[in-house]
Amino acid sequence: MASTARRPSRVAKLPPRERILDAAEELFQSEGIRRVGVQAIAERAETTKMAIYRHFETKDALVAEWLRIVAADYQAAFDRVEAEHPGRPREQILGLARFIAEGLPAISHRGCPFINSIAELPDRSHPARQVIEKHKARQTRRLVGMCAEAGLPDPEQAAAEITFVLEGAQVSTQNGSIDQAGDRLMRIVEAIVDQHRSPLGTSRATTD
C-alpha cells in the first residue's frame, strides 16, 4: 500500500532525490547557481552532501536537471493553455502571454531562471546551456506555429516580436525600469494578435 511513498524515520518525507531537487529549485531560483553551495542544498533538503552525489554526478548535472524540470513545467503550462482554447490560436497566444504576465510579480525579485542561468554559465558547452537552448528552440517553434495558425501574415516576425516582448517584460520587471509591466505586456500582445494594432490609441475594438 504505502499511502505515503516512503517514511524513513518520523515525518512523512519525499524520497531524497525529490527533496534535493526541491531544495535546489528554491535556492537556485532565489540565490543563483554559483552562490549556492552543495552543502546548502543538502541542509535545505534535510540530507547530506553525499546523498546528493549519489543521485547526481556533479553539481552541474544537478543544475541541468533543475532546468530540465523548469522547462518541463513551462511546457506543461504551455500545453494547458493550448488545451484550454483548442483550435483558437489567438486565444492560445493570449493565454500564454497572460501566463507570463501573471508570473511577473513572483519574478520581480529574481528573474527568469533561464536568463539568469545563462548569465551565470558563460560556456555554451555546459549541459544546462543545452537544456535551455533546446527549450527555447521548441518554444519558438511552437509560437511560430500558433502565429501561422492565427493567420498572421508573417508568423516568424510575429513570433519574434512576441518573444521579445515576453522576455523584455521579465527583465524590465526584474530591474524595475517599467511598472505595471503585466498590463502593458497584455496590451501589446493583444495588439499583435489583433493585427490592426493601435495599442497606444484609445480605440479598443476587439473583433470576434
Partner DNA sequence: CTCTAGTGATACCGGACGGTATCATTCGGG
Partner DNA sequence: CCCGAATGATACCGTCCGGTATCACTAGAG
Where along the sequence are the contacts to DNA (CB under 7 A)?
Answer: 2, 6-9, 15-17, 34-40, 46-51, 53-55, 58-60
Q: What is the largest CA-CA distance in the chain?
A: 64
Q: At what angle do helices 89-107 and 59-84 cross, to 10 degrees?
A: 140
Nearer to DNA, 46 or 190 (CB): 46
Q: Which does 130 bind (CB under 5 to 8 A by kind): a copy of itself, DNA, none?
A: none
* 154 scored as a contact of a copy of itself (CB under 8 A): yes
Q: Which does 187 bind (CB under 5 to 8 A by kind): a copy of itself, DNA, none?
A: a copy of itself
Q: Got the DSSP string for 34-88?
A: TTS-HHHHHHHTTS-HHHHHHH-SSHHHHHHHHHHHHHHHHHHHHHHHHHHSTT-
Nearer to a copy of itself, 54 or 134 (CB): 134
Which residue, among 194, 113, 10, 172, has the nearest Cα to 183 in the 3D structure?
172
Query: What nine digits make up the cell of 139?
Result: 518554444
Helix ranges (DSSP H) in the chain: 16-31, 38-44, 49-55, 59-84, 89-107, 113-120, 127-149, 155-175, 181-193
* Of the candidate residues 2, 11, 200, 205, the single one contacting a copy of itself (CB under 8 A): 200
Cα 26 to Cα 37: distance, rounded to the nearest angstrom: 13
Q: Write each residue from 23 to 62 as x if it is in contact with a copy of itself (CB under 8 A), else as -, in one continuous string.
A: -------xxx-xx---------------------------
* 193 scored as a contact of a copy of itself (CB under 8 A): no
* 201 scored as a contact of a copy of itself (CB under 8 A): yes
Cα 166 to Cα 173: distance, rounded to the nearest angstrom: 11
Helix-, strand-, coil-residue percentages of the chain, each rounded to 5? 65, 0, 35
Query: Looking only at residues 75 through 134 of this chain, which bind a copy of itself when binding is defined by CB under 8 A?
Result: 109-111, 114-120, 122, 132-133
Shortest distance, CB of residue 151 to DNA, whole angstroms? 49
Cα 187 to Cα 194: distance, rounded to the nearest angstrom: 10
* Of the candidate residues 25, 161, 190, 194, the single one contacting a copy of itself (CB under 8 A): 161
The binding site for a copy of itself (CB under 8 A) comprises 30-32, 34-35, 109-111, 114-120, 122, 132-133, 136-137, 139-140, 152-154, 157-158, 160-161, 163-169, 171-172, 174-178, 181, 184-185, 187-188, 195-202
